[in-house]
Structure 1
């Protein structure tokens, strides 16, 4: 197959860039930096099954896993296996023997768990809104790239308050289902959206993540949908990269800010440079590795190396630098033991706006698995914070009537 001249030129330039980097810092580090830069912006086709299964006793309702940080997490989780052809729900740890960890099996939803040898934990737990025993609707949000599917779970009473759920990188809408029951109890509708390149919504031309710098436009479209269907007060809730997307939507869109009354963040990606440095450290790479990936993403040759349609200025995506532009209350939840997105960025963001940000620190919970580790605390925080938004709006309404 003949390549287009433009593609050949781009490949040649990219190859030259890699060569220059290699001369500067070493071929192995340069190659790894390009690999990481490409990986962070490329939607994964399939997640790694990184947990080894040694025994399954369906009669006893128990599974034994090779000991690891994931295997010994406390709480309840979804568990994918057989290349996502199977799914089960695992309960808490029964016994931690060090080399092996025994957990309870709550259910096997589909697939042959007794034949599986590997799997991966999933914080979603719920597969769809039908499991919440609440009425829901399949709806479509019209984005600039085309129709994007979403779930709408309405409050019991006719409510004009909406929570828009924005899932994280490499996952889909079910991630936000954990927040639907407390939102419903507080009298808020929940709209769980899809966005470009997540495997459900339309793809962008480059089929790459923008780390919040492009996806925010789909949150604007979701906000428009909510307003067209009666929303008067809106809260954005972002998980991991969904937090970065939500914050960019707030900073970049007057349409979002017009009805916005708050933001909730679970394990958010606040500082991408810090995240990339952390990932480099996990892989025993030099301290400057993360900064090199940042330069690759933001440089003029980034497109040829990673496939992104335009350079990604990671510094421009830092909400801490623009913290003074936010003016709504936020609930920020993060674990010191996240293991994927370090808590440091959340700490700095909370410190930059202590007047707006209620910062809740968890311990022992892995990335976006705060609900799984401490469901009662997490659910209570979300419900009470939303109830306070309702009370605040009611007070403002009363004051406006008195002033009038």
Structure 2
């Protein structure tokens, strides 16, 4: 019997039913996975790759990989032996290897060592930058949240930046920005929030995408007040940006100390859009990504009671009343840049927007460290005013 004859004998109704069932199973499976990631994602280690290092003078040679080929500055930490840390400049292909020049080095990066390399640059504590800091905790109604307190260069206690990591992130991911914060004269408090790595687990361990986590930021402002600080700015990365903006809601005011500005790096402003976009990110057709995205939202709401309207910061944009410094990369595959485009268009009176060409998710600093630092230091000077230098 020929193949054509066999095809003609197939029961079309049964075939169609099988296709519909397969599609439904794919949607349900994708939605359950998406809901689990949305609700619980957290990591123990800062993202990076382990590679062997070749070194000649100030030049470092690495095998080609997504991380070593990334645009802009990367960081590298030798593991065997663990003796230092270095910042490496933009890459250049040399045969099958990636060549980068050392921009800064602390300790020793030996030839032949095994090393961690990452666009997040640092994977430790402020000590990795040679900066003194205090391990502390922020007391909240659901437990103590681990934090790093980095005093200002002068030791003064006037202004402080509350630095908030993102979904599944860690405090170390923002250490790239610590030198600029210190040059600006402010102290810093790198905080964690409930259900993140190292923080207390609440209930089923579900994240609320900025809603309840904002209460932990308000508790951080209480910590700052008790420590003697008189004003603060909020600085959020990815979901941390949504947390920072959620803290601006009227129900959280008056603040323990005045908040004078908000800095946002690739913020998650509309979670519905983010969920749909991440479906398409993995090559799922648009119509299927929409179905999975809608079902993810349904599952998240059913499991955790999540109200997506509460964390829709674009809908809330008309209520914002503080200066906002905003970065977003054009190659961000995690949070669509159109969200930041929309916020900047809705509130040009408040938003200073830096749209960084070629930058991936929370990698805007890596593309242009000097430009990023200048914008951050200028913003701190503007919103903090006469802080003690």
TM, length-normalised to structure 1: 0.78
1:333 aligns with 2:330: no
Structure 1's unaligned 5+ residue stretches are 1-21, 395-404
* 2-structure distance, mates of 1:159, 1:384: 20
CA contact 1:70–1:121 (8 Å) conserved in 2:
yes
Cα deviation, residue 177, structure 1: 2.4
1:283 aligns with 2:282: yes
Q: Which residue of 2 aligns with 1:400?
A: none
Q: Which residue of 2 aligns with 1:402?
A: none
Q: In terms of Rg, which structure is larger? A: 2
| Segment drifting more, 378-387 vs 255-264 | 255-264
* 1-structure distance, mates of 2:232, 2:178: 14
* 2-structure distance, mates of 1:364, 1:331: 19
TM, length-normalised to structure 2: 0.81
CA separation of 1:165 and 1:219: change in aligned 2, threshold 3 A: same
| Segment drifting more, 128-137 vs 260-269 | 128-137
* 1-structure distance, mates of 2:173, 2:339: 22
| Segment drifting more, 347-356 vs 208-217 | 208-217
Q: Which residue of 2 aligns with 1:247?
A: 245
Cα deviation, residue 323, structure 1: 0.8
CA contact 1:49–1:81 (8 Å) conserved in 2:
no
Q: Which residue of 2 aligns with 1:57?
A: 54
1:381 aligns with 2:375: yes
Count the aligned residue pairs.
Answer: 364
Structure (1 or 2) with the greater helix fraction:
1
Structure 2's unaligned 5+ residue stretches are 1-19
* 1:171-186 equivalences in 2 (<5 Å): 171-186=169-184
* 1:235-274 equivalences in 2 (<5 Å): 235-251=233-249, 252-256=251-255, 259-274=258-273
CA contact 1:212–1:248 (8 Å) conserved in 2:
yes
CA contact 1:78–1:122 (8 Å) conserved in 2:
no
Aligned-pair RMSD on alpha carbons? 3.5
CA separation of 1:72 and 1:297: change in aligned 2, threshold 3 A: closer
* 1:219-234 equivalences in 2 (<5 Å): 219-234=217-232
* 1:36-115 equivalences in 2 (<5 Å): 36-45=34-43, 53=51, 56-58=53-55, 62-68=60-66, 71-78=69-76, 89=86, 91-96=88-93, 101-104=98-101
1:135 aligns with 2:129: no
Of 361, 384, 387, which aligns to 1:390? 384
CA separation of 1:314 and 1:28: change in aligned 2, threshold 3 A: same
